[in-house]
Structure 1
Amino acid sequence: MDNLSHFCCWNSECPDNGKKGVGNLSVTGRYGPGRERRMLRCRTCKTRFSERKGTPLFGAHLDSLTVESVLERIVEGRGIREVGRLSGLHRDTVTRYRRLVENNVGSIPQLKRKRKVLNVALFLETSHSYARETLHGIRSYVREHGPWKIRFSEQGRGVEPPPWLAHWKGDGILARMENDRLARAIDETGLPVVDVSCYRLLPSMPSVEPDPLEIARLAVDHLLERGLKHFGFCGVPGVPWSDLRGSSFARLVAEIGHDCHLYRRTVVQPISSSWNIDKTAIARWIRSLPKPVGILGAWDGCALQVLEVCRNLNVAVPDEVAVLGVDDDDLLCDLADPSLSSIKCSAHQVGYHAASLLDQMMAGKDVPPDIAMVRPAGVVARQSTDLLAIDDQLVSDALRFIRDHACEGIQVCDVLKIVPLSRRVLETRFKTAVGYSPHEAIVRLQLRTIKEFLTETDLSLATIATKSGFNHLNYMCKLFKQKTGFTPGEFRARNRSKN
């Protein structure tokens, strides 16, 4: 039985005009997409009319959810261009619905007339690209879901909390908390807080950070593809994200049967003074390493110091030491000599997701104090890792050909055209040199490309299959599920939710 108590007859000459809940209405039929809209009939005057009569939905050709979303954003006070961009509609369509709202807003009292402006404090430094990209992610969320009034505090590591914080009347805080004094001051406000560091100084609050295991996995795969068999990590003991990246990197290197040589600086000092480390100690460590070796720096600044020491020692980069950083500060990486390869950490997604969590908390929703791990975007390869450290020249030629053409649909028979070897000999020498077959080398690069497309774009699976070198979508999906344990759709949804 349809509940029609909130409808009324719109015939101005009907005795029951405008009266709700008097039992004069019945449903005579349904119409529209999916026949979801009802036609009503007044028993008193025999008039038939749509249930949407007298509302902004009357005459709408869009589905109900889209119309309601557009109307809600208009009533919140958002501009026509913004509503059109968020809803994917032409501005003329939005303008028409805005006029409907202006004429009928009294008939939709459940919609807010103006959204409350939330006061949010940001405690992040802007001295490096990762922090700035995090701020860009926060800004993107605010533009889409605001309005927020931002109080920004340039917060270097180790500084005292600002005096105004104790008396600030705000709604929430986003902070990179890396010292106890700031953490205590923020905790004492009693406000919703989301942390974007991995120090976890407030374990009762949710935290968002780059995934250290995935960073290490990208580093190991990248250096292995260069034919390297010796590995090193240069980091800072006692700094949580450095320790996590180093331990993850060492563990993954051990799993493939190689040793990881760890450099841990012994002088305890603020990480902000990253250019003042003991380069003499790093020089001794680099001299002691077997060559050629691939070194992962805990962050770009650390990797740049390794490059400087190698230059002072006349150690060839990348032929003797291949160097990989983390964070992809493109200005610093491009200015380095040679230019520095680096892992891009998806800091934009860190900021966006942290802002989303804070918005939920400020709305009164229960957000568990979990650590949200954001998958890194990938490796940005530059000169510092541009090598193939393989003694077998023919295998090196084959691997370079695979790296350059893996996503063009090549097969092992195509590789054999550029090396004068039989398939059996190539596979034997290839496995001896790098630990896996030519076919697996092709598949690894194709899978990496598929993951990047799934995570970073909205391309269809058919387009991704073509761009990754697959002639058949079904085969790509089957292979992806076999290698990763997820279908492409599941992988995209899983990593989009993280990011």
Structure 2
Amino acid sequence: MKQIALALQESVVLRFSILQGVQDYARTAADWKLLRSAEAPVLSWEEAYASRPDGIIGFIGAEGLPAAAPAGTPIVCVNSIHDCPSTLRVRSDARAVGALAARYFLERGYRSFVFCTDVPTHYYSQQRFAGYRDALQEAGFAPQELIINSAGNDSTGGELAQLKSLPTKTAVYCVTDACARRVLNYCEDQGIEVPQHLAVLGTDNDPFHCEGGRTLLSSIEVNHRRIGMQAAQLLDRILHGAPAPAEAVLVAPGEVVTRASTETAAAASHPVVARALAAMEQHFQIREFTVERLASACGVSSRTIGRLFRQQGMASPYQVLLNIRIGAAKRLLEETQLTADEISFQCGFADYSTFYRAFKSHVGIAPSAFR
């Protein structure tokens, strides 16, 4: 039986979900014993080294990999404060995370963009910004980068005071949920309306920050549990003699979990558009719910509702409805064992072929590959 140490003690946000992913793999596919301390299921690096394991899955902090690793012991890094090119790596595709944030805001009609970070030297921050910037530049926009201090003392505003001068309906994508909560707290203190004036999006979907304030925070689900499972798969292959991959194994992000900080209906200034968005969220599962039926429910023509969406700077009603259906399908693919046919039905698509084409066009891969 292989003895596996999880050196995840330094990570408060990541460790539980990554531990779940490792346990998922260990229960079903590996002859493993996960080493633990008397107090917790994860270890410090010192404890991991002292346990003389067959392999280590760990979180490498800002100071880098501790010295004196057991000779010949494979180590899989599951985060990206540093690139760590000399180590086995399974991590979030940070560029794809940033690009997802850009698409999310573009589909909702935003035309002014900010990237906010309090850890600009961290590799994942640089990569998330690069993905966000590149996707926006492809659409003809250039985001502003707002670097705030890492100390977290925002009582005097500091760099966050720049939020006051941003134009109405600016999209603010934050490198982490902790950073986003600081932005939201400042907006609440200064009377900046969210999401009417600024829409704020975080990363990690951490309940502590997403649900721990007056304004619920929208966030990107980074799939830490999947990272844990794939790290375990990689380590198991290495322990059985497989060659080490030259590049990091990148795990695609999940979806954006929309909460009040980017709630499109709340941000819409026209009452018909707000009603339409609320109706889409309520009725998207009904396959007969078309733009024509939406317009009728809102008491206007299809042409009028399309014009109102354009005036709000938003995508067409058809595209917004499709985005909602695709987002729901991604959730079901990740969280349930429903077949693709069943998911297409539950998300309001006419048939599986229509669902398949729409999903692949929107996400870039087939539903089966996403799962």
Distance 1:133 1:480, change over 3 A: closer
Cα distance, 1:397 vs structure 2? 3.0
**Residue in structure 2 matching 1:303, options 170, 180, 186:** 180
Of 468-477 and 215-224, more deviation after overlay is shown by 215-224
CA contact (8 A) 2:7 2:43 kept: yes
CA contact (8 A) 2:332 2:338 kept: yes
**Matches of 2:360 and 2:216, distance apart in 1:** 36
**2:115 matched to which residue of 1?**
233
State yes or no: 1:462 paired with 2:341.
yes
**1:284 matched to which residue of 2?**
161
Question: TM-score w.r.t. structure 1 length?
Answer: 0.66
CA contact (8 A) 1:261 1:289 kept: no
CA contact (8 A) 2:255 2:330 kept: no
State yes or no: 1:215 paired with 2:106.
no
Point out where structure 2 has 5 or more consecutive residues left out of the alignment: none
**Matches of 2:48 and 2:324, distance apart in 1:** 52
Total equivalences in the alignment: 363
**Matches of 2:48 and 2:227, distance apart in 1:** 27
CA contact (8 A) 1:137 1:351 kept: yes
**2:294 matched to which residue of 1?**
415
**Matches of 1:309 and 1:203, distance apart in 2:** 37
CA contact (8 A) 2:6 2:34 kept: no
Aligned to 1:407, the other structure's residue is in SS state: coil
**Residue in structure 1 matching 2:215, options 338, 343, 362:** 338
CA contact (8 A) 1:406 1:442 kept: yes
Of 278-287 and 296-305, more deviation after overlay is shown by 278-287
Aligned to 2:14, the other structure's residue is in SS state: helix
Aligned to 2:157, the other structure's residue is in SS state: helix
CA contact (8 A) 2:200 2:261 kept: yes
Alpha-carbon displacement from aligned partner over 1:155-211 (angstroms, at most 9, x marks no partner):
4xxxxx63883x76331111212345525433x633112111124554233211112
Alpha-carbon displacement from aligned partner over 1:68-93 (angstroms, at most 9, x marks no partner):
xxxxxxxxxxxxxxxxxxxxxxxxxx
Q: Partner letter of residue 203 of structure 1? A: P
CA contact (8 A) 2:174 2:201 kept: yes
Aligned to 2:297, the other structure's residue is in SS state: coil
Alpha-carbon displacement from aligned partner over 1:301-357 (angstroms, at most 9, x marks no partner):
111111121122122223222222111221332221112222222111111110111
**1:121 matched to which residue of 2?**
5
**Matches of 1:478 and 1:208, distance apart in 2:** 30
**2:21 matched to which residue of 1?**
137
**1:194 matched to which residue of 2?**
76
Question: TM-score w.r.t. structure 2 length?
Answer: 0.86
**Matches of 1:432 and 1:225, distance apart in 2:** 14
**Matches of 1:193 and 1:444, distance apart in 2:** 39
**Matches of 1:478 and 1:322, distance apart in 2:** 31
Distance 1:238 1:479, change over 3 A: closer
Q: Partner letter of residue 472 of structure 1? A: D
Aligned to 1:417, the other structure's residue is in SS state: helix
Q: Partner letter of residue 165 of structure 2? A: S
**Matches of 2:270 and 2:59, distance apart in 1:** 48
| Aligned residue runs from structure 1 range 59-70, under 5 A | none
Point out where structure 1 has 5 or more consecutive residues left out of the alignment: 1-116, 156-160
**Matches of 2:188 and 2:300, distance apart in 1:** 39
**2:284 matched to which residue of 1?**
406
Cα distance, 1:482 vs structure 2? 4.9
Aligned to 1:335, the other structure's residue is in SS state: coil
**1:250 matched to which residue of 2?**
133
Q: With CA pairs under 8 Å and 6+ residues apart, which has the higher RCO, 1 or 2? A: 2
Aligned to 2:85, the other structure's residue is in SS state: coil
CA contact (8 A) 2:36 2:43 kept: no
Cα distance, 1:481 vs structure 2? 4.3
Cα distance, 1:387 vs structure 2? 4.0
**1:204 matched to which residue of 2?**
86
CA RMSD after TM alignment: 2.8
Which structure's CA Rg is the greater one?
A: 1
**Matches of 1:478 and 1:284, distance apart in 2:** 45
State yes or no: 1:427 paired with 2:306.
yes
**Matches of 2:52 and 2:358, distance apart in 1:** 55
**Matches of 1:484 and 1:438, distance apart in 2:** 19
